[in-house]
Structure 1
Amino acid sequence: MKDLIIYQSNGEQELFVKKGIHQVKASNTTADSIIVTIDETETYQEIDGFGASFTDSSAYLINQVLDKEQRTELMETLFSRDKGIGLSVLRNPMGASDYAREIYSYNDIDAGETDFQLEQFTIEHDLEDIIPLLKEAVALNPDIKLMASPWSPPAWMKTSGSMKGGELKEECYQVYAAYFVKYIQAYKEHGLSIYAITPQNEPLYVPDHYPGSFMPAERQVEFIKNYLKPNFLKFGLNTKILCYDHNWDRPDYPLHVLDHAGDGVDGVAWHWYGGEPAAQHQVQMAFPNKEVHFTEGSGGEWIPAFEPAFSNVLRTGIEILRNDSKSFVLWNMALDEENGPFVPGFGESTCRGIVKIEQKTNALTYTLDYYALAHFSKFVQPKAVRIATTSDEVIRSVAFKNPDGSIVTILFNDSDEMKTVQLIQQGNEILHCNLAAKAAMTILKK
């Protein structure tokens, strides 16, 4: 037991790591211990990893606002497994999202024109900030998987004639599939492999103040089955196609797509802005051979700071992973002191990044999302396998067996009082300690 490492957050934005501890003894215990049992013989999904998004806004702040020394420190802290927290999944917008300095796609042309041969396709916008940071991240952590999602097709492909509102024109299904192919190929030319895409971010939500596009389930089936997947096969692309990319409250959508698109779809992407994470398991039970991914969840000022928001990420993250997800990806990697930049006309932003980079002072602050995500990403390695643990609404838990054989257990005390916890594996007590109210603990057993 010499190689037991405990990593704990106390709810006050402070982390500490204790190495070589055999046991952390409970003291002044006034209640019976809560027993959490690990069973590594019962296994579930393989893990791809944890991360966030280099939106246009995030990439700009990191690459242009920070100085070289700050940027190097931040990138190592985010992506290095030795020096940082080892983030290993990045899900980027294909073109502008709400968090961009301008509205853009990779095929912007004058109003009234068309470009069905995609002769004016270019990823030049991404060459300034996004691609350099992605390449640096991959150099720091070669295990990184890149995902990509469009908020909107190019304006000329849509019924609205704008990247805001409307939907993809039926006559543009083929050219839009080709647009995905060219994006993947263009990134490959820069040494970046796109692991997975989704056809549309949040296809059931069409905002009027930032890019978005309506894509009901029936049309997503048609696009994937008859256009996108055939184009991937034609050009020899092995990029995975994940359907839906929206909230837990509409499991009927991915169920319909999986039922009708068949082998054209590799899995489902989920967000946390509605419903419950159990929806992931519901769909997984119906289609057990399809992957489950959690691709976006943003914290923000709608959840009070610090403890309730920190608790939300820990609580929800554990439940996302207990409900079959291979990934846990938050939203913006970085935002500024005004929770931006965001597209013109967006209004007021309340979202929070993994870090805050103040444009007026260049100050860099690690937010509660960083501390919460670190409990998972620093120790759970890509290709780890989730193993069984007992869990309830008082002491929530999730555990994994890493490829090197080490066992990682994440505990979160979701009650309002200190609890005494015993961690048991194969009948042996691994840990016996007090866990403060709303505190998280990660235990690594080598």
Structure 2
Amino acid sequence: MSRSVRPVAAAVALAVLLPGAPPAQAATSSEVWLTTADGSRLLARQADVAFGSATSGTTIDVNAGTTYQTMDGFGAAFTDSSTWLTWNRQNSSQRDAMLTKLFDRTNGIGLSLMRLPIGASDFTANSADYTFDDTCCDLNDFSINHDKAFTIPVIKAAKAKNSSLKIMASPWTPPAWMKTNNSLYGGSLRTDRHGVFADYYVKYLQAYAAEGLPIYSLAIQNEPHHEAAYESMRMAAGQQADVIKNHLGPKLAANGLTPKLVAWDHNWNEASYATTVLNDAGAKQYLAGSAFHCYGGDVSAQTAVHNAHPDRDIWFTECSGGEWATNFGDNLKWNLQNLIIGGTRNWAKGVLFWNLALDQNHGPTNGGCTNCRGVVTINNGTGNVAYNVEYYALGHASKFVVPGARRISSTNVAGSVETVAFRNPDNSIALIALNPSGSARTFTVRYAGQSFNYTLPAGAVTTFKWAG
């Protein structure tokens, strides 16, 4: 689904000061990686800056003793369209080079968290409407053979580049025979099919595990308040809670399956859906948390849900770029403010864009957005790849923030120097800083009693990384 209105970035999240956090260590210098609003420098390594005792203007304090959520990573979606293009429109050397730039952290940006539609979505090659068992009215014909043709090979090739890669799966629709309108488009889940609905996802998880691809997280339903003329289904909060507590949760447990179950998986502007499901104690016992999209509302909604249920996690799982917004600098700023910085400062453990790859015609599409943009664009005639603004926005985080990193405290000056910081498992520190203003900003980064000055061009973003 495309973004038509861009919400304003929000939000300072609440901190948790953990006792016994490792003491900060003195650093001697920091790496500097820069992307400018005009695209003249694209995640480009700059000269290192030395720590000393400098101070100039705004001070950005980084404090590794104040910690927040643990990060799963950053990425996009292995839509059917994306994997079909990768497998069928690139030769092996083109594919290997692109996957290296996407998933290898040393020679690329190290994407580590990816989303996978369960069955067809609005981005399915050859307009193929399908689920994994379209034969009524049992699961005797269940099969993931469709995915074995190109989706599973692409995922395995990506995982070979990054062994820590995690998959978040999300269904656009169950089989039509489970639904009130007997269609893959719209409708809702029949109340007498709740049990077989749960069985369907048990079989899915088992089938992917048998391929050596265990599913890390499972959403109950993608965009449950969006019915469309493509794969979709409406699911009320009460029905979602019932399915979780009485069917899906118990059946997963009985089969020894432990994906992180995620509620909602839709826009910020209806965050009360997530809290309603989490307020049901029977459902909450099986839920890891909730997930959000960018197409309505404000990123601060994530913090509202976190504050209501601080013992459950938050993920940001979908936002698409497109031809409605083509200015590189404007897109860079928006994505950093709202998703990379805004999303994580509002408790997201992961930040995901929509299609990993689309072609030069914004497809293949299957009834949905006709002008969306992938993280990369694959020419469907030559197999050549263009790396879009979303690639660089993701890279400023994914290349430097390793899965298992903890978000830590950093000063955030809205409209001037906007930041988020992380401490990696090896104790290295990554600080992402955006200058959203129309003029250069000089500021001081201070950590463990030492500091350095840096001047960031208008509209530019930089990632600093130093040894903790």
TM-score by length of structure 1 reads: 0.94
- 1:212 aligns to what SS in structure 2? coil
Shift of 1:61: 0.7
Partner residue in 1 for 2:73? 49
**What is the count of residue pairs matched by the alignment?**
433
Partner residue in 2 for 1:195? 216
Residue 246 of structure 1 pairs with residue 258 of structure 2? no
Q: Map Cα deviations across residues 350-384 of structure 1 (whole Å, 9 max, x no partner).
A: 21101001113322101110011100000001000
The residue correspondences of 1:155-234 to structure 2 (distance < 5 A) are 155-208=176-229, 210-234=230-254
Residue 132 of structure 1 pairs with residue 134 of structure 2? no
Aligned-residue identity in percent: 39
Partner residue in 2 for 1:299? 321
The residue correspondences of 1:325-404 to structure 2 (distance < 5 A) are 325-343=348-366, 345-346=367-368, 349-393=370-414, 394-404=416-426
Shift of 1:25: 13
Return the letter of the residue paired with 1:245.
D
- 1:215 aligns to what SS in structure 2? coil
CA contact (8 A) 1:78 1:84 kept: yes
Q: In 2, distance between residues paired with 1:160 and 1:308? A: 42
Identify which of 282, 285, 288 aligns with 2:304.
Answer: 282
Q: In 1, distance between residues paired with 2:236 and 2:52? A: 53
Shift of 1:211: 0.7
Residue 67 of structure 1 pairs with residue 87 of structure 2? no
Q: In 1, distance between residues paired with 2:142 and 2:48? A: 55
Question: Could you list the runs of 5+ residues in structure 2 that have no partner in the other structure?
Answer: 1-26
Residue 444 of structure 1 pairs with residue 468 of structure 2? no
Partner residue in 1 for 2:330? 308
- 1:97 aligns to what SS in structure 2? coil
Q: In 2, distance between residues paired with 1:304 and 1:413? A: 20
Partner residue in 2 for 1:419? 441
Shift of 1:181: 0.5
Shift of 1:252: 1.0
Q: In 2, distance between residues paired with 1:177 and 1:81? A: 37
Residue 237 of structure 1 pairs with residue 260 of structure 2? no
CA contact (8 A) 1:399 1:408 kept: yes
- 2:114 aligns to what SS in structure 1? strand
The residue correspondences of 1:21-60 to structure 2 (distance < 5 A) are 21-22=49-50, 33-60=57-84
Q: In 2, distance between residues paired with 1:5 and 1:125? A: 44
Q: In 2, distance between residues paired with 1:304 and 1:156? A: 41
Q: Map Cα deviations across residues 214-249 of structure 1 (whole Å, 9 max, x no partner).
A: 001011001111111011011010111010001111
Deviates more, 1:16-25 or 1:53-62: 16-25
Partner residue in 2 for 1:95? 119
Distance 1:24 1:341, change over 3 A: farther
Shift of 1:2: 4.8
Q: In 2, distance between residues paired with 1:228 and 1:9? A: 44
- 1:249 aligns to what SS in structure 2? helix
CA contact (8 A) 1:25 1:432 kept: no
Shift of 1:140: 1.5
CA contact (8 A) 2:94 2:383 kept: no
Return the letter of the residue paired with 2:109.
I
Q: In 1, distance between residues paired with 2:199 and 2:329? A: 46
Moved runs in structure 1, 4+ residues, more than 6 A?
A: 23-26
Q: Map Cα deviations across residues 377-426 of structure 1 (whole Å, 9 max, x no partner).
A: 00001000000011022211000000001000000001111111111113
- 2:216 aligns to what SS in structure 1? strand
CA contact (8 A) 1:358 1:364 kept: yes
- 2:207 aligns to what SS in structure 1? helix
CA contact (8 A) 1:52 1:91 kept: yes
Return the letter of the residue paired with 1:426.
A
